[in-house]
Structure 1
């Protein structure tokens, strides 16, 4: 097991995250609106599930969309669904342009706002409770369980730290100071006041803040002490929920480069990492091994990739639509302590897909844990995770 200390890189400026009257402001290309009376959680087999709910994606027209029919844009660029799905969606009135129901002949113009109402299904995450370490007027410090994203991204919205804290702990109006990968556990800081966020970010920029990680790796370090890795970082993929800037995966990449990858890292400990395999082939090999029936998207193509479109679409403007025209109500039941019933949308592909198997424990956890943060005159620390305790007995 390795213990790694590193300075925290500065994240997005607070003015990109400030809130006013319940509306969260994000970069200019995205607009976000709060939803009311949203779905609830239910728990089964140690997992936190979200009852499916209706959700509206909204975005301003991209330059390449102008002059094209709505149907052509959706069917050619959003390939997560078949073309006939989008034809039905348009005919059912689920797609609008500037607030007006689109038709198969609607052509997109510059500055148009395009929306799509969907029946949203989120992946389950661990049902492990969130341990609150500090909760005061300036900061919220928690021990993040593995498998839970920090903020809405990709297919996750309610099953994120931000919304679980809001929905179950009644903690709202918090701002991310830093992030952890979805499967990484450990110390996570949120700011409650913009001034506090700015203060800590200034400390981060001045390299006054350090994080200590625990990692369980393949192999053994020959000598105790500090190992310095100056290799430049090349993140394997930005298509798995990572931003286009910053130093995400830093510890994971450096451990892999040093020959000690984290044991169960789904990216950087994969068997496809060999000296003969080119970096550009590795992601395709990993996808092919995990999803053998899925077509591999050529990352060198000039067209928009399915994964990129999906992530971008799901991060953009969000608003609840109460018009459920075309939907019928049926019952779908899950049983644990009580019966869970939710509506099945006859148009929703996910509703009519055979039940997916729950993720396994190994798919939810990575042996990387943020153990402590230390800054000027302050510091926070978590207990070691269960997988690390036996290795710490001799230290």
Structure 2
């Protein structure tokens, strides 16, 4: 559904579905109850300023009855953000795609306490492309390659590449050297390299971590290869066949090689402010695919490295 409001400062308007009937006499009465944590006077002022917009572009007022509009759009009040002092780099740009190299700590898209400090908003503003849209996402803690669509007309073709698993994604990670590591016969959890690891991962609504169900059929798979190791860490190459949330972090943790500086796995640690000197040691390293428009092979490689990798 197209927004009646343009992208502003790199950020699109938020859409809200309103009930067509209910115990609320007006739209603002419903929104006041829905957003009970907000100052109701501030919400009324936004209606008075004409900032709550229906799909036809008309502004709602504080007297607009419930049922007069099924959807409304508005710009979120910008949060007070902590600056993320790392830049997202553009590795490639053409009429259809932007390939970016995202730093650790920067989210892919705006959300929560991050708005201007997101890869999408920074790139929209820098490149002057309000229609720029991510084709896939990386966790805020993960660095590396991101693909963005420039034009809505060709976006679906690139989205299908990921949907149909026709994009080869390669990651690398650094973990603390597992106990009992034998450099003459390297293995994780008794499994020699290369390792194909599978399990069933499920994201539960009320949990920030995913859950693993050993009784269910595996729905995630990763090929894990050894790059290098020293007396402190092991450096691995990861080729996910599936794309479940936190899959690589979960798989390495299950093998006794949790990624360095991971606050989620194997144990969920208390939330603390970002320590920019301790990024998660996970990097989206390579993207390969056959371009759905030209039929030509495309390959992109990050320019970033993992600071804890052997020899870095």
CA 256–262 in structure 1, closer or farther in 2 if over 3 Å, else same: same
2:68 & 2:141 partners in 1: Cα distance? Answer: 40
Could you report, residue by residue, the CA deviation over 1:255-288 in whole angstroms, capped at 9, with x for unpaired residues? 23333322222322435xxxxxxxxxxxxxx6xx
TM-score, length of structure 2 as denominator length:
0.64
CA 130–89 in structure 1, closer or farther in 2 if over 3 Å, else same: closer
Could you report, residue by residue, the CA deviation over 1:350-385 in whole angstroms, capped at 9, with x for unpaired residues? xxxxxxxx743158x322110111234331111342
- Structure possessing the higher relative contact order (Cα contacts under 8 Å, 6 or more residues apart): 1
Query: Equivalent of 1:160, from 101, 105, 118?
Result: 118
Q: Is the 8 A contact 2:52 2:74 kept in 1?
A: yes
Give the deviation of 1:144 after TM superposition: 0.8
State how 1:1-395 maps to structure 2 within 5 Å: 28=1, 31=3, 33-36=5-8, 38=9, 57-62=14-19, 66-68=22-24, 73-74=30-31, 76-81=33-38, 85-87=39-41, 89-90=43-44, 93=48, 99-102=59-62, 108-109=66-67, 111-113=69-71, 119-171=77-129, 173-193=131-151, 197-220=155-178, 222-223=186-187, 225-235=193-203, 247-271=244-268, 289-290=270-271, 359-361=274-276, 365-376=279-290, 377-388=297-308, 390-392=309-311
1:254 counterpart SS class: helix
CA 72–360 in structure 1, closer or farther in 2 if over 3 Å, else same: farther
Could you report, residue by residue, the CA deviation over 1:175-209 in whole angstroms, capped at 9, with x for unpaired residues? 42221112211011223356764554454455442
Partner of 1:275: none
2:146 & 2:299 partners in 1: Cα distance? Answer: 12
Structure 2 unaligned segments of length 5 or more: list them: 211-242, 291-296
1:74 & 1:209 partners in 2: Cα distance? Answer: 42
1:174 & 1:107 partners in 2: Cα distance? Answer: 36
Q: Is the 8 A contact 2:6 2:13 kept in 1?
A: no
2:169 counterpart SS class: strand
CA 35–133 in structure 1, closer or farther in 2 if over 3 Å, else same: closer
More strand by share: 2
CA 157–66 in structure 1, closer or farther in 2 if over 3 Å, else same: farther
CA 157–225 in structure 1, closer or farther in 2 if over 3 Å, else same: same
2:198 counterpart SS class: coil
Give the deviation of 1:225 after TM superposition: 2.2
More helix by share: 1
CA 175–226 in structure 1, closer or farther in 2 if over 3 Å, else same: same
Give the deviation of 1:219 after TM superposition: 4.5
Would you say how many aligned residue pairs link Structure 1 and Structure 2?
A: 256
Q: Is the 8 A contact 1:58 1:116 kept in 2?
A: yes
Give the deviation of 1:62 after TM superposition: 3.6
1:67 & 1:170 partners in 2: Cα distance? Answer: 44
Give the deviation of 1:162 after TM superposition: 2.2
2:195 counterpart SS class: coil
2:163 & 2:30 partners in 1: Cα distance? Answer: 42
CA 180–71 in structure 1, closer or farther in 2 if over 3 Å, else same: same
Q: Is the 8 A contact 1:126 1:145 kept in 2?
A: no
2:117 counterpart SS class: coil
1:162 counterpart SS class: helix
1:251 counterpart SS class: helix
